[in-house]
Amino acid sequence: MPADPVALTRDLVRCPSVTPAEGGALAFLERTLTAAGFAVHRTTFREPGAADVENLYARIGTVAPHLVFAGHTDVVPPGTESAWKHPPFSGEVMDGTLYGRGAVDMKGGIACAIAAVIDHLAANGGKPKGSVSFLITGDEEGIAVNGTIKLLKWVAERGEKFDHCILAEPSNVETLGDTIKIGRRGSLNGHLIVRGKQGHVAYPQRADNPIRGLVALVAALNAEPIDKGTAHFPPSHLEFTSVDVGNKTVNLIPGEARARFNIRFNDLHTLDSLKELIEQRAAKAAGGKIDFAFEWEPSNAGVFVTQPGPFTELVANAVAEVSGRKPELSTSGGTSDARFITAYCPVVEFGLVGQTMHQVDERVPVAELHALTAVYRKIIDRYFA
Ligand SMILES: [Zn+2]
């Protein structure tokens, strides 16, 4: 009998694993994967100022090639439970749809990957022709300091290497098969500070209004696109999100003015080269006449792209054969743990349809769970063919 991705999703949804709580989700995976022949490790990571978080790494096979499925069992809070048609941790199925927090993001994706692997093993004498593993964190939806980033390091320190990774995040926009994510833009937050000289509005000659300089620099940084985009990415984009003086006094010229901004950037830049570029542009616009500085917030959201090749093709073909759609290889959207995985092996993201993630009545059609399981099964079969 084939493994049932619907029952697996339901059982996972029933574990109330709101970040950073384990909620029984990793214990359930440990039992399931141990029964399937995996060597299962559970690790707890700690960081001052953050909650301890449990993680899981499970592997079957000892040789290459090594395919890893990555994901997270933690979920965002359900919000007002009474607003849900079905209790958020019930995993109830009604009219062919499974309801519950995490159904889409991303317990359903993990369940489908497990079902596909179990079926593959059953059809191949219980062992892969290589290695399959699961890299599962409980810290993705939070600040993500005790999750995938540390788990990857932990596995590497054991001397294990991955060849390819599939991150089972909900990658599709409208229908299963429309989108595979092969990269993500980077994200950088900064503050622009212009210093002037405080004074009385009636005597501007004795003061230096920093708002004038700030407006000039904001205009200059908005005037010119950062770049023209690349083969897999749209142009990088700087967006000011706040302009702050905080001056409550009507007759006072403020001494300082600040603006906050975010940049979503493509693979023409690194975090460091981008900072340098923005600082250079501001310096040029200031022409030595504006006293300004930048403050950059720490970021672990660099840009990455998995260049299309045999692996992305294998995944895209499996998706196309099951769904009847030719998936777009996309780099859109916010960040994900793929930004950490890319430092260890090529990674693509393919999972369920993201429509209801993080919403009340998060839900997934049962048919979609079966279709995703079929996609993963095809990928695994061909990967080890
Ligand atoms: Zn997610």
Distance between CA atoms of 339 and 365, rounded to whole angstroms? 29
What is the 168 CA–ligand 1 centroid distance (Å)? 8
Instruction: Please tell me the predicted confidence (pLDDT) of residue 104.
Output: 98
Q: Which of 11, 74, 119, 139 does the annotation list as catalytic?
A: 74
What is the 102 CA–ligand 1 centroid distance (Å)? 8
Instruction: Please tell me the predicted confidence (pLDDT) of residue 142.
Output: 82
What is the 14 CA–ligand 1 centroid distance (Å)? 17
Low-confidence residues of the chain: pLDDT under 70: none
What is the 170 CA–ligand 1 centroid distance (Å)? 7
Instruction: Please tell me the predicted confidence (pLDDT) of residue 330.
Output: 95
Instruction: Please tell me the predicted confidence (pLDDT) of residue 299.
Output: 83
Q: Which residues contact 69 (CB under 8 A, 6 or more apart)?
A: 110, 113, 117, 132, 133, 134, 135, 165, 166, 167, 168, 376
What is the 122 CA–ligand 1 centroid distance (Å)? 29
What is the 153 CA–ligand 1 centroid distance (Å)? 20
Instruction: Please tell me the predicted confidence (pLDDT) of residue 324.
Output: 97
Q: Which of 140, 208, 267, 362 does the annotation list as catalytic?
A: 140
Does residue 74 carry a catalytic annotation?
yes
What is the 105 CA–ligand 1 centroid distance (Å)? 5
What is the 147 CA–ligand 1 centroid distance (Å)? 13
What is the 31 CA–ligand 1 centroid distance (Å)? 23
